[in-house]
Amino acid sequence: MNQDININKKSTFFRLISYIFKTNKLAAAIVVLCIIITTFTSLASTLFMRTLIDGYIIPLTQSDNPQYSMLFKTISKLGLVLLAGVLCAFINTRIMIKISQGTMLRLRKELFSHMQTLPIRYFDSKRNGEIMSVYTNDVDTLRQTAQSLPQFFSTAITLVSTLVSMIVLSVPLTFIALIMAFVMLRATKYLSKRSRKYFTAQQTNLAKVNGYIEEMISGQKIVKVFCYEDKVVNDFEKINEQLRISSAQANKTANIVMPVNGNLGNLSYVLIAVIGASLALGGYISLSIGTLVSFLSLNKSFSQPIGHISSQINSIIMSIAGGDRVFQLMDEKPEEDDGKKELIIEDNATDIQLNHVNFSYVEGKQVLYDINLNAEKNKKIAFVGGTGAGKTTITNLLNRFYDIQSGEILYHGEDIKQFTKQSLRHNLGMVLQDINLFTGTVMDNIRYGKLDASDQDCIEAAKLIGADDFIRRLSDGYNTRLTANGGNLSQGERQLLSITRTAVANPPVLVLDEATSSIDTRTERQVQKALDSLMKGRTTFIIAHRLSTVRNADCIVVLEQGHIIEMGNHGELLAKHGKYYSLYKGGNV
């Protein structure tokens, strides 16, 4: 099990690298070149210490007539080399900022585009806050990766080049430095391994917190109506505490690494200074003062990158945890569309048949059982029944939000699967109980039903539905800007806009899912009259509980636990004295 997890982490890491640099190959090459130049200019200044002490300072202190011209020229050349290193470091930083920000821009765009291709099933199984967390927290981890990778590469080059230089200066002292480096690496590996699982838990818990906050924002009215403020605060504290624990554990372990490695590096410096001086004074090795000073500087340069690696590894571990969640979304299978034909409905009407339809959202939990229904063109079909009876599920199958397990759904005698989903949904308009208005003007929201509709088309649709009067009373009329899902409108006004949006689309088939449930009785009469005009000449499916909507249907289908138990018009069903009769007399229809 652990091996599989490690393989997954490695694949995520290499996928992150590939994603960051696949469209920035030239920039990446420039960054690598700049890192190499910067690293070797830093190394040159360290090695110059031996030349400065042994070749200039000691001879000059022993000379009766010291000449400083050669020293000045040499230091000037070194200054030019170091200036080149500074320039390369500046270029490297600027390019990496561009790469990291460009990567996040491209990633968000690809994530959002891919999200539009996912089936409704995916969104039904995820909380909005969890998905939002991918776009915010998890995507940001890739920026950290983009910044850490060049540093990691620079550290690797520094370690190799410094090690080679140390070997050239003194093999015995290099052996001591390597022993201490091994101790530092073991400490880094141990602490990083402990922090890895906590960083993963931190990202998961952060998504849970965001999801819970999103739920509570959208459900504030319910919270206040039932006086659950204290309860939701307590529940949030529990989730937030889990985030605190995982974050504290991750950062506690990660933050120990730098001090531990820093002190081990200082210990290495002292040991080499004492042992090197002792060996040189004892005559065991030939070691000049300049060589010892340079070696000590190199050892410092050798120890510091190991400490930096630990910090970079922690950033990369966090990036992998976030990257896993990002790529999980990107790897979600798009909605399959096996349809080949375009659905073209003439005369704004069609026959729709359901033959022996069986369906379940989750395997083993069937929702619909052997549904048989014939919806003739120009007819209104109403579904009634209790919660969970399967009313909305049937409408979800008509536009292939979900596909049936067995049976068939026919449009004009042809299997629904023969048609492309886009053409199918283009011909089917829906007015839902849950209202979704978007940030923009009233006109923008109406035109959402048909993007190429003219202003006059939108106004005519609003007049048909009866929304024109209240729209013109708004502060800027049709140009009034809506925010927060139309929070500045009443519930009835919001639903009227939703119905108008469907009206401007002029679809041949209508689905009205509790379309008037949130409208007062007076407004309902106005809307129902408009809906009657809209439904004329169209095949319409109605899910409703109000008598005024149901009794006028050509066919009423009574559902119970996924079965059709009664079917007929209002008068026929009353005469049967069955389930519909009970609902009607009980005032529940």
Report, as an integer, the average pLDDT of 273-298: 76
Q: Cα separations (Å) of 370 from 180, 300, 359, 532?
A: 74, 77, 9, 31
Domain assignment present for 262 = yes
- The answer as to whether 338 is a domain residue is no
Q: Specify whether 214 is located in the same domain as 308.
A: yes
Q: Is residue 431 one of the residues assigned to a domain? A: yes
- In the listed set 330, 358, 387, which residue is the last one of a domain according to the structure? 330
Residue at 580 is within a domain: yes
Reference 173, options 262, 271, 52, 263; nearest CA is 271
More confident site: 526 or 352? 352
The whole domain housing 527 covers 346-585
CA distance 36 to 91: 13
**CATH code, domain carrying 128:** 1.20.1560.10
- pTM for the model: 0.71
For residue range 85-115, list pLDDT tens digits in order. Answer: 889 889 988 888 888 888 888 888 888 889 8
Q: State what percent of residues in the chain have pLDDT above 70.
A: 89
Give rounded-to-5 percent helix, strand, coil for the chain: 65, 10, 20
At 477 the pLDDT is: 93
Q: Same structural domain for residues 320 and 368?
A: no
According to the model, what pLDDT value does residue 434 have?
Answer: 77
DSSP β-ladder status, 555-560 and 481-482: unpaired
pLDDT band, residue 310 (cuts 50/70/90): low
Q: Is 491 or 110 the better-scoring residue by pLDDT?
A: 110
CA–CA separation, 205 and 242 (whole Å): 7
Q: Cβ distance 573 to 556 under 8 Å?
A: yes
- Please give the C-alpha separations between residue 433 and each of 246, 346, 436, in angstroms, as whole numbers: 40, 29, 10
The answer on pLDDT for 521 being more than 90 is: no
One-letter amino acid for residue 259 of the chain: P
Are 295 and 437 within one domain?
no
Domains contained in the chain, number:
2
Evaluate whether residue 265 is within a structural domain: yes
| Residue 64 to residue 87: CA distance in whole angstroms | 40
Q: Which two tokens stand for residue 544?
A: 């409703």
The predicted pLDDT at position 173 comes to: 85
DSSP letter for 338, please.
-
357, 408 contact by CB (below 8 A): yes
Residue 337 in any domain: the answer is: no
pLDDT tens, residue by residue, 546-585: 655 688 889 999 999 999 999 999 899 999 988 888 887 7
Assess whether pLDDT exceeds 80 at residue 530.
Answer: no
As a whole number, the mean pLDDT across the chain is 81
If asked whether residues 322 and 357 sit together in one domain, one would say no
Residue 130, helix vs strand vs coil: helix
Same domain for 325 and 351? Answer: no
Residues 117-140 have a mean pLDDT of 83
Indicate which CATH number applies to the domain containing 579: 3.40.50.300
Determine the 3-state secondary structure of 442 from DSSP: helix
Taking alpha carbons only, the member of 150, 156, 42, 44 closest to residue 94 is 150
Q: What is the mean pLDDT of residues 455-469?
A: 89
Can you tell me the distance from the alpha carbon of 70 to that of 50, in angstroms, rounded to the nearest whole number? 16
Choice among 32-46, 113-127, 198-212, 355-369 with the minimum mean pLDDT:
198-212
- Distance in angstroms (rounded) separating the CA atoms of residues 21 and 23: 6
324 lies in the same domain as 351: no
One-letter amino acid for residue 261 of the chain: N
Q: Is the pLDDT of residue 527 over 50?
A: yes
Residues 199 and 281 both lie in one domain: yes
Tokens of 127: 């909380």
| pLDDT confidence of residue 383 | 92
Report the Cα–Cα distance between both ends of the chain, in Å, rounded. Answer: 55
If asked whether residues 317 and 357 sit together in one domain, one would say no
Question: Do residues 319 and 354 both lie within one domain?
Answer: no
Confidence of residue 473 (pLDDT cuts 50, 70, 90): very high
Q: Is the pLDDT at 306 greater than 50, yes or no?
A: yes
Residue 299 has pLDDT above 90, yes or no: no
**What is the pLDDT averaged over residues 46-60?**
75
Report the C-alpha gap between 298 and 305 in whole angstroms.
11
Mean pLDDT of the region 54-71: 75
| Same-domain check for residues 303 and 369 | no
Of residues 422 and 370, which shows the higher confidence score? 370
Among 174-178, 184-188, 193-197, 419-423, whose mean pLDDT is lowest? 193-197
Select from 277, 302, 330 the last residue of a domain.
330
Residue 336 lies in a domain: no
User: In angstroms, rounded to a whole number, what is the distance separating the alpha carbons of residues 228 and 184?
Assistant: 53
- What is the phi/psi pair of residue 22, to 5°? -65, -30
Q: Mean pLDDT over residues 178-190, rounded?
A: 79
Where does residue 410 rank: exposed (0-12), middle (13-18), buried (19+ CB within 10 A)? middle
pLDDT at site 418: 92
Q: What is the pLDDT of residue 443?
A: 94
Contact 25, 151 (CB under 8 A): no
> Domain check: are 408 and 377 in the same one?
yes
Pairing between strand 509-513 and 428-431? parallel
375 assigned to some structural domain? yes
Residue ending a domain, among 275, 301, 330, is 330
Q: What is the mean pLDDT of residues 460-480?
A: 90
**Percentage, residues of the chain above pLDDT 90:** 14
Reading the block at residue 59, the tokens are 């001879």
Residues 433 and 285 in one domain: no
- 524 and 328 Cβ atoms separated by less than 8 Å: no
How confident is residue 254, by pLDDT bands cut at 50, 70 and 90? low
